[in-house]
A = this chain, B = another copy of it.
Amino acid sequence: MEAYYRDIDRFYIAVDCIIFGFSKGELHLLLLKRNFEPAKGEWSLVGGFLKKGESIDQTAKRVLYELTGLDQIFMKQVGTFGEVDRDPGERVVSTAYFALMNINDYDPELAKKYNAHWIKLSELPPLIFDHHIMVDKARKMLQNHVPNELISFNLLPKLFTLSELQLLYEAIIGKPLDKRNFRKKVAEMDCVEKTNEKDKSGSRRGAYLYKFNDLIQN
């Protein structure tokens, strides 16, 4: 180590993940009912600590991978939380990331193993530390980004109906949308493509399935 750094304090650095999923018209979060210390028995986000050889983005990916077995999940940094007493056990600075995934991609066996649960955003339990602040900020980011950018499409299956897409939008922004106006706007998006397949599960008539094409960039 260079002499310059000799007198400087060092800290634990954590990553906490706000994992959004979408099901039945509602946004959900993947939360842990902690069966480990600290704060055993309470609800928390999924987290982990930065290790020497990895970047902080890699830590986030790893934490998510360990829990879900999935990589290639869209993640975005929410912010860094560094209040002195945010973790009452030790001084830990935590960087929050939000992740968007399709609930159906998550193996229920893994959920059991880690005691992880999809909880409706409308029914969030109290969370440990400052995790609710992280969640609030992530929600706001999601709301701000959806109208402009085309994030959020990691929340749906590969093929989806326009009704499903609209429900997702409504869940994110928290208010109902006009069906015709919504479809007009989607029609103008280059990145959403109609397929020839139909989904017959939602109605007798059946609805065309759509997909995202290569023009999306998160």
Ranked nearest first, the 5 interchain pairs of A and B with the lowest CB-CB distance are A56-B82, A10-B10, A80-B80, A55-B83, A8-B49
CB distance from A88 to the nearest CB of B (A): 10
The answer to whether the Cβ of A51 comes within 8 Å of any Cβ in the partner chain is yes
Known A-B contacts A77-B79, A82-B95, A95-B82; the reply to A52 vs B9 at CB < 8 A is yes
Known A-B contacts A9-B50, A11-B11, A12-B8; the reply to A2 vs B77 at CB < 8 A is no
Task: Give A49 to B11 CA distance when docked, in angstroms.
Answer: 11
The answer to whether the Cβ of A54 comes within 8 Å of any Cβ in the partner chain is yes
The answer to whether the Cβ of A197 comes within 8 Å of any Cβ in the partner chain is no
| Total copies of this chain within the assembly | 2
Contact residue among B2, B11, B77, B95 (Cβ-Cβ distance under 8 Å from A10):
B11
CB distance from A47 to the nearest CB of B (A): 12
Interface size on A, residues (CB 8 A): 34
B93 with A2: CB separation less than 8 A: no
Task: Give A82 to B12 CA distance when docked, in angstroms.
Answer: 13
The answer to whether the Cβ of A194 comes within 8 Å of any Cβ in the partner chain is no
CB distance from A113 to the nearest CB of B (A): 20
* Residue from A13, A38, A81, A90 having most chain B Cβ neighbours under 10 A: A13
